[in-house]
Amino acid sequence: MLVRRIASLSKGLYVLLCFAFFYTPIFVTMIFSFNSSKSLTKFTGFSLRWYTQLIENSEIMSAVWVSVSVAALATAISTVLGTITAIGLSKSRKIIKEWLTNINNIPIMNPEIVTAIGLMLLFSAMKFEKGYLTMLLAHISFCTPYVITSVYPKVRGLDVNIANAAMDLGATPFQALTKVIVPMIKPGITAGMLLAFTMSFDDFVISYFVSGNGVMNISMIVYNMTKRTNPTINALSTIVIVVIFVAVLVVNVIPKLKNKKGRKINEKNI
């Protein structure tokens, strides 16, 4: 009896420790973003000082804009590119399929620093002026393989005749794509999109190497600012955490609500 109680208690403790380990750093950041003094060790009182400073700091605000806009554009473009590639891949000959899926894995496995230097050298060789555009192109290039990886298995799982069935019923090839194929592989596309967005949003290494002319994203500006104590970073981090928390909540709750509604309709008809 006692043994069992100790066992269940230690199980709970273990889980608690794990979560503490994951979340303490985040909580510390959040708490100290509301600190009234500059100290990162002593909490001297509640204030929104760092938040006002954050909004007033045009350098940080422009970095936020760069991160958000690059992530959004890179996600949109790489999702379209990756999805089309995955669909095309499924219709290719076997040997092409095998080669391309393997080649697609290399950028994912490759150390980021190598990709970063490679892209930097490429842009220099092509005499591209480093800045927003080079950063966007780099992000598209490293996001696309992730989209392909998450969409391809969904495409492969489709009935071989599904596009034929749509065209047989009068759909043009484009309509077959938009009305049948894309809705059916949507889970894969959504997963790929989320992956691409996160990869792009928190990228540091590649952005650092391919950007220039003062164009910086959040990771780069944080890196620059950590050289001196600056709690505005805490405020920025807190906002990002809250945004991500809300996003995760929405992504997880919406399908559940939809399912409930769908099930009700089905039940009514049985």
Return residues touching another protein (CB under 8 A). Answer: 159, 161-162, 164-172, 175, 179-180, 183-184, 186, 262, 265-266, 268-269
Hey, CA dihedral for 171, 176, 180, 182, is it positive or negative?
Answer: negative
Hey, CA dihedral for 140, 141, 146, 151, is it positive or negative?
Answer: positive
Q: Token pair for residue 87?
A: 């669909």
Hey, CA dihedral for 126, 201, 71, 53, is it positive or negative?
Answer: negative
Closest approach, Cβ 103 to another protein, in A, equals: 24
Closest approach, Cβ 168 to another protein, in A, equals: 5
Closest to another protein by CB, 97 vs 130, is: 97
Residue closest to 39 by CA, chosen among 234, 241, 218: 234
Closest to another protein by CB, 25 vs 88, is: 88
Q: Are 152 and 86 in contact (CB under 8 A)?
A: yes
Closest to another protein by CB, 188 vs 231, is: 188
End-to-end CA distance of the chain: give it in Å, rounded. Answer: 48
Closest approach, Cβ 173 to another protein, in A, equals: 8
Closest approach, Cβ 100 to another protein, in A, equals: 20
Closest to another protein by CB, 163 vs 235, is: 163
